[in-house]
Amino acid sequence: MQRACSFVAAVAMSSSGWCAAQQPCGQWLDLTHEIPGVGGQVYQMTMWDRDGAGPEQPWLVVVGSFELAGDEDATQVAAWDGTRWRGLAKSDPRSTNRCVYAVGTYQNQLIIGGLIDTWDNQFAMNVVSYDGTKWTPLLDGPRGAVRSIREFNGKLVVGGEFTEIHDFWNRAPALHVASWDGTSWSAMGSSVVGWVTQMVDFQGVLYAGGSSLSRWNGSAWESIGAGFNTIYALTLHGGELIVGGRLAAAMAGSDPSPNLIRFDGTSWRPLGCAKPVVSAGSLGGALLFNDNDKGMWQWKDGVVSAVTPGREGSALSFQTIGDSLYMGGLFTTVNGVGVLNVARYDGVGWHTLGRGFNAGIGSMTTWNGKLVVGGDFTHAGDFSVGHVAVLDNGVWKPLGAGIPGQSGPYVSDVEAIGSTLYVGGSFPKAGTVASPNVGRWNGTSWQALGPGLGTAVQAGAVVNSSYYAGSNIAFQGSAGV
């Protein structure tokens, strides 16, 4: 929210006059709409059951190029607990190479992979584990990007673009796939043909796909099939292996649309898709898949039909949890529903994950180490917050009664001086106290700033521990703090 103004009068101050959110790819993210989700592209997702057979519910974990998940600081790793987003990682200022591409689990621990040189202020070698409390790099690992993670036969298996595993002193060949036994890394066979982005366990056999399709026979990799160009999706459905991507006609016989095929362990059969398939997942009796032109489809009972008329952006990952299918990628709408890069499908319709503000945010600042926002909004999710809210342990909360009024009042500036928060905008009261257009919150109650200001505050700043409020008047005077 921007409002035209000419800067003028003084009242009292804060440390941060503006705030904005930026996606890692250099695109600005509009935060003025109530669109829940994560603030950037989702590459992969997985279900993480932190306590195994314990009573806690599994979390949906997503990784990608984002810095926020819902209201949480969540640098490239976030979890949806069924109610709200949780940030599992924060930015590491020492990192010069940090991109998380893959996520999986191993012995109830969360595993992430990518191009990672430091994580949580620790040196890393592209693979890191998380036990729910602390992050631990799995050192001496792959020397190159990790794109896929899978637990198989009691070991952690990773695939990607690497050709070696190594520590500071020693290197060993590991062409595109390596395994971790809980103590050390080792190569897995001599070679997989081409780089690996997908792995799946089908009929007790590990399949790896990327620039080709291979399977592990227990001692070596075997190349299977023919005519693969690029594989983007490997999943299981109806007891069969599903392969999607840019596939050649030879793979599916005479079918002219061979970009989605199925394998029963012996023979290949086409499912058909005229456009390259970028992701696929299974929900109940339906196989759902996305093409590279915003279309989402389902194959059920031998019939292909459209699930949605389209989406704004790309879908890269699926994860089934219970009776829901979660989709992640880079998109803002699915079937007309406003979402932000992650959505849930229940077999009937699409749903958002979490909720944001019901109207625009005009100003942000840091107060007592917490984020405070002001704007036109009156609610954060289902909570009434009265045009100003503080993010406390991942939850938006009101400051007392806030700035009352449903329509008309707004907060255009929030600033902090020490433990005192100052707000400016267009309103007659701060809480229950008459305080025209300016007010302050001392941590427990709202207070007036003298007689207030006679016209709406459009902007503010802090100079030498004084709060300056700008309006379209010639001069309003100042009030000491």
Q: pLDDT of 246-255, one tens digit each?
A: 876 545 454 5
Average pLDDT, the chain: 77
Task: Give the per-residue pLDDT at 360.
Answer: 63
Angle at 45 between CA 339 and CA 100, to 5 degrees: 105
Task: Give the per-residue pLDDT at 141.
Answer: 87
User: Rounded CA gap, 456 and 104, in Å?
Assistant: 52
Task: Give the per-residue pLDDT at 63.
Answer: 92
Residue 366 in this model has a pLDDT that exceeds 70: yes
User: Rounded CA gap, 343 and 56, in Å?
Assistant: 22
Instruction: With cut-offs at 50, 70 and 90, classify the pLDDT of residue 408.
Output: confident
Task: Give the per-residue pLDDT at 371.
Answer: 74
Q: What percent of the chain has pLDDT over 90?
A: 26
Task: Give the per-residue pLDDT at 17.
Answer: 24
Residue scoring higher pLDDT (465 or 449):
449
Contacts of 55 (CB under 8 A, 6+ apart): none
Task: Give the per-residue pLDDT at 252.
Answer: 47
Closest CA to 71 of 381, 385, 412: 381
Alpha-carbon 364 to chain mean position: 22
What is the DSSP annotation of 217-261?
A: -SSSEEE--S-EEEEEEEEEETTEEEEEEEE-GGGGTT-S-BSEE
Residue scoring higher pLDDT (274 or 100):
100
Read off the pLDDT of each residue in 301-327 and give the average, rounded to a whole number: 67
Closest CA to 461 of 402, 427, 419, 414: 414
Task: Give the per-residue pLDDT at 479.
Answer: 38
Length of the chain (residues): 481
Residue scoring higher pLDDT (324 or 258):
324
Give the pLDDT confidence of 272-294 residue by residue, as tens digits. Answer: 676 778 788 887 778 878 776 65
User: Rounded CA gap, 171 and 258, in Å?
Assistant: 41
Run of H or E including 459: strand 459-463
Give the pLDDT confidence of 171-228 residue by residue, as tens digits. Answer: 888 889 999 999 999 999 876 667 899 999 999 999 999 888 899 999 899 888 666 6
Residue scoring higher pLDDT (331 or 381):
331
Instruction: With cut-offs at 50, 70 and 90, classify the pLDDT of residue 69.
Output: confident
Task: Give the per-residue pLDDT at 84.
Answer: 84
Read off the pLDDT of each residue in 399-415 and give the average, rounded to a whole number: 85
Asked if 94 and 82 touch (Cβ cutoff 8 Å), the reply is no
Task: Give the per-residue pLDDT at 342.
Answer: 66
The backbone torsions φ and ψ at residue 385, rounded to the nearest 5 degrees and listed phi first, read: -125, -10
Instruction: With cut-offs at 50, 70 and 90, classify the pLDDT of residue 20.
Output: very low
pTM for the model: 0.61
CB atoms closer than 10 angstroms to residue 2: 10
Read off the pLDDT of each residue in 41-57 and give the average, rounded to a whole number: 85
Read off the pLDDT of each residue in 462-470 and give the average, rounded to a whole number: 77
